[in-house]
Amino acid sequence: MSLEQKLTISNSLRGITFSSERKQRISESLKGRKLSDEHKKNISISLKGNPKLATNKGKFGEESHGWKGDKAGYFAIHNWIRKHKPKKGICEDCKKTCKTEFHSINEKYTRNINDYRELCNSCHKRTRGLV
């Protein structure tokens, strides 16, 4: 198949969305398929030309081009806190050993580990004024 034919097919499929059933059938048909060494080499070459992948490879946290700092969303900040401040399972208020949650002391979600306390559910609700 010539390059021109491949581009024609590729362009004709742009913007088409497949149903989940069709995606499943395609997935099933490709399972167990072995890629030739030439095919693997071609995939590698095509990925090397992608500037987004090339500039961000192996970069995490502040080095990543997608880093938002303190402007990140609620869940991103909480995931960052979980990663950098492991839970001990002891409430810092009542000292009970139980399932705990992180509470933002100043109610602002930042990446400052010292702005978070580990509280049990009841102390967390009481602190937030929900009880």
Say yes or no to pLDDT of 7 above 70: yes
> Would you say residue 105 lies in a domain?
yes
Nearest to 104 by CA among 94, 119, 91: 119
> Would you say residue 81 lies in a domain?
no
The pTM for the full model equals 0.49
Ramachandran bin of 57, using left for φ above 0, alpha for ψ from -120 to 50, beta for the remaining angles: beta
Give me the domain span that covers residue 124.
89-131
> How confident is the model over 74-131, as pLDDT tens digits?
888 888 888 888 889 999 999 999 999 888 888 888 888 888 999 999 999 988 887 6
Number of domains in the chain: 1
